[in-house]
Structure 1
Amino acid sequence: MGGDVTVPGCAVEPLVPFGVLVRPTGGPRPVPSPAELRELVLRDRVVVCRGFTPEPTQHALAAYAAGWGSLLQWDFGTVFEVVEHEAPKNYLFASGSVPYHWDGAFAERVPWLQVFQQGRRTTWPRFPVAP
C-alpha cells in the first residue's frame, strides 16, 4: 500500500486500515487527473486527495469526474450538492448525521466509483459502470 505507486508532484501515504492519502508537494494545484490516480483507485479503493484546489463549480466537477467514465444521471443531474436546509424534507439536508447507506441501492445501474468534493458544501458525481 502507498509507496510503490507515484503521482507526479504529490506525496502518497498509506491510510490505516486501508486506502491512501495524496497531497501536493509544491503548493496548491488542481486534483491529479484520473489517469494519474487510476492505479491507486483500482489498487487501494479509497483515495483521499487533500490540499488541492477544489473544482470551482458543479459543471467543472462533473467535467473532471467524466474523465473517470460515464456519469450516472439522476433526477437532480450528475452532481448532488449537500446543503443544509432550514426546514429539511429528509436527513440529507439536515444538520445531523446521515445514516450509513449505499447510494447504489437507489440507482438503475450500480456505480463503480463515487467522487466527493468537500468544502463549505459536499458534492459528488456518480458513475454507473467500471471502466
Structure 2
Amino acid sequence: MIDPKEDEETNPFCYGKSLAEWLRSKFEALGYEPEPVIAEDWGWCVMLKREPFLLWVGCGNERSEFYDKITPKQKESFVPDGREITWCSFVASDTPIWTATFWKKLVGRVSTHEEVSAVSRQLEGILNNETRIHVTAEPAA
C-alpha cells in the first residue's frame, strides 16, 4: 500500500515506506533492533545498527517512468498502484570518519564486508520466502 503523501518526505515518486516497514519487522524477528524507518531523498532506510558502523537496508522503487508520464498538475492527486511498481531493496554500510579512525586505532581496521554479506543473504531469504514477491535480479556480490 502506498500512502499518497509518503513521497512528500522523499523526492517525487519515491515510494517504499510500506516495504521498509515490512522489512523492518522481518529483521526484528531475526534479532535485530531496527530503528523506525527513515525517509531519505532516494526512498526509505531501515537502520539495523549504528555502531561500530552504520548497517542498513534501502527500500525504494523504479520511478523514471513517472517523470515522463505524470504532469505536475496530475502529481497533486497521483498515487500509483503498488502492484505495478518495480520495488528495489539493497544492503549498505557507512563508516563515519571519526568511527573509522577510532576503530582503526583500536583493532586495526573496520571491515563491513562480512556483515553486509550476511544481511544481504538474510534479505534475499526474506524476499524469496514471500510468495507474492518475484525477485528479478540477483543481489550484488
Category of TM-score, reference length = shorter chain: under 0.3
Question: Which has more radius of gyration?
Answer: 2
Q: TM-score, normalising length from structure 2? A: 0.26
Q: TM-score, normalising length from structure 1? A: 0.28
